[in-house]
Amino acid sequence: QVHLAESGGDWAHSGESLRLSCEYSRAWGNCMAWFRRLPGMRSNEAAATASINSDGVTFYNDAVKGRFTISRDDAKNILYLQMNNLKPEDTGTYLCATGNVAGCQMTGGRLNGMDYWGKGHEVTISS
């Protein structure tokens, strides 16, 4: 079992920045990612926002490219999501997840096969 817990800023104006953190109990799999879930969605329906594989290669949803940066500190067991130039449409519940996914690359905002999920952290961006 792997436990993941998200934390970080939860509110910002449009154009500002926030950083999310995800502490995980132990390393698992070759892929870690951040997802954004809207009200009414189940976790496995959440849109993949950013992912990073065990080689440190990163992938981004087109909607956040150039604005968000995913990174990981394996010594501290923390996954980060730096979010810059935030927009109201970035609002949602952000979840971190880990799993074994070939390539760890999202397709059309989808990244299936994650094994363990955090409970989520709500982020609201005001215009």
Please give the pLDDT value at position 46: 87
Report strand pairing: 11-13 vs 121-126.
parallel
**The pair of three-digit structure tokens given for residue 11, joined into one six-digit string:** 């509110």
Q: What are the tens digits of pLDDT across the range 93-123?
A: 999 999 999 999 998 889 999 999 999 999 9
Please say if the pLDDT value at position 43 is more than 80: no
User: How far, in Å, are 24, 49, 118 from residue 61 at the CA level?
Assistant: 23, 5, 20
Q: What are the tens digits of pLDDT across the range 73-99?
A: 999 999 999 999 999 999 999 999 999
Q: What is the DSSP string of 95-118?
A: EEEEE--GGG--BTTB---EEEE-
Neighbours of 109 (CB within 10 A): 14
Q: What are the tens digits of pLDDT across the range 57-66?
A: 999 999 999 9
Coil, strand or helix at 94: strand
